[in-house]
Structure 1
Amino acid sequence: MTLEKIKPPIADASSASHVNGELHHHHTHAAGSRHVGGHHLLSVERLSVAFDMYDPAAPFWRAGRVRSEVLHDLTLSVHAGEVLAVVGASGSGKTVLADALMGNFANNAEVRGTIWFDGQRMDASGLRSLAGRGVSLVPQGVGNLDPLMRVGEQVRGVARGETHAARKADAQRRLSLQRELFEAYGLTPEVECMYPHELSGGMARRVLLMCALMDSPKLVIADEPTPGLDLELAVHALDDLRAFANDGGGVLLITHDIELALRVADRVAVFHDGTVVEETAARSFRSADQLRHPFSRALWHALPGHDFAASGEVDHES
């Protein structure tokens, strides 16, 4: 399908960096934020996702249909060269956001809003076509690994090229890169020949991350990439995402672990009740006074070393 080429929202006339704290398009900019081509790498405007489902509160023999809205009026942007962390409670719908950005909509889903990627307005088919060809997902569940394929093959993926020689050269390049990644993440060469069920949870999560890093994407969407990893490996994984952004890519890091997120994020999108209530530079979390929304301030107070004094503010503003 040919993607619709419609003029995207103009972010800036140049690709220059912004002053940290400059408010623009619903968010403040980090020092490294860049508008390459005059637009955001990813722009999500007023996204809502609802599901038509049977009423879970009704007896099953006479349950009627109800509409359950998981995301509503959600707006966020990711720039080239930055990590945007979407932080919020577990089970709050953040994975629905990741699925929506990959074009993975259930048959009973109703989706409204606009998504732009690298200057093009995208529909579900267009978003799905970007998988492995511009956008890579690090999924939350290790069940996304193929149980019948050896993990080395899954990380390498399919060799590409118009000729047999080109495909052979690409296969060799992928094998070399896969082994470099295995070594970097502490997986022995023998793991190449193992199946997913033979891996520990932490090993499987490392494999998911390596799969995303193989195809030189412009944007990596990492959905809770660190659970199951010890602190050293979790930091290593996030440092790799940071390095990817430093090289000009964009990262959308979806996580409930705000402490880890703040180690690498340039900006933070605070997720609450199915929407982003505040998008701000990560440095704003140095002080609660720099945060605008009560839920953001409550998250700040919940961080280690702070006083847990603001939890009651959350109910005062939607």
Structure 2
Amino acid sequence: MNFQAITERFKNMMQQKTTRPSTASQPPESFAFYHQIRQLSQEPWTYEDPELQDVAMSILPLEKLFEDATKREKDGNGSWGYQDYLIQSLLSWFKQEFFSWVNSPKCESCQSDTHLIGACRPNTEESFQGCNNVEVYQCNGCSRQQRFPRYNKVRPLLFSRTGRCGEWACCFTFLCRALGSRARWVWNAEDHVWTEVYSFKQNRWVHVDSCEESFDQPLIYEQGWGKKMSYCIGFSIDSVRDVSSRYIRDPENGNPRNRCPEIVIEHTIKSLNEEFRSALSEYDRSKLLDEDRREKEELISYRTREDLSSSALPARQTGSEDWKRERGEGGN
């Protein structure tokens, strides 16, 4: 992995003048959504820090992961490649051994349950580590108050190893990159995030959700969780893609796409892709354009066919029952 080239490409991208879509007649919501997409597109670049990659290599149980991937490949039917099996091995280890889910933290003093009482600003150290919000909990036993900083940067998560959807997806997507996979961080407008990895064996992007230990189950949200969605957008260091139709097969039962006109989204994604690829060779740009065309055909095909799962998809595993109901993820 040529980190110097990646860094140089990022610098060039940031120095370019941003071309904005014509929004003269658009409502303020269009401006907000436009800027939100551009801001979200910076997330994958935080995974390209070579020093952070070295930290990941010192943490990952590489021998165990490689052995497990080799066994999966040997026992498989040939439909997946070795790198795909390596991501499956990483997924199992990440879910079962590395990261933990937090509904509310245990009291640090007496280990009793706690309940949320509010939020506060991060302190200087928390802000430096990439924390934007701190949840405040009170112990049900000793009444002690306790802070729970919500980090959205990889470095602190490699050591805290706990959180909810955002922390899980951030850390897992980074580790996919550390293992050499092309990876996307996928943002959903209804407050969920997950990962996609590119399978060279199948020549397509594959859904992965580390919270649920779910691999190649893109319909798990709509059909398993009963989640209503509007936008799902994938971000990597060389592409941005509206992948909504991969996950939303029944738009009439989903949430309306009314954050901005479709042309604004299309223009924003097009301009971001041009920026991200501006420093690439003509050969690499050509390969990515071919990939874009294949994926576009794949995504369009989902709109014109019934693609219901032949077996029941699981309801959401992570989160308390009340929390899942509040988010509309309690299952069908």
Q: TM-score, normalised to structure 2's length?
A: 0.27
Higher helix share: 2
Higher strand share: 1
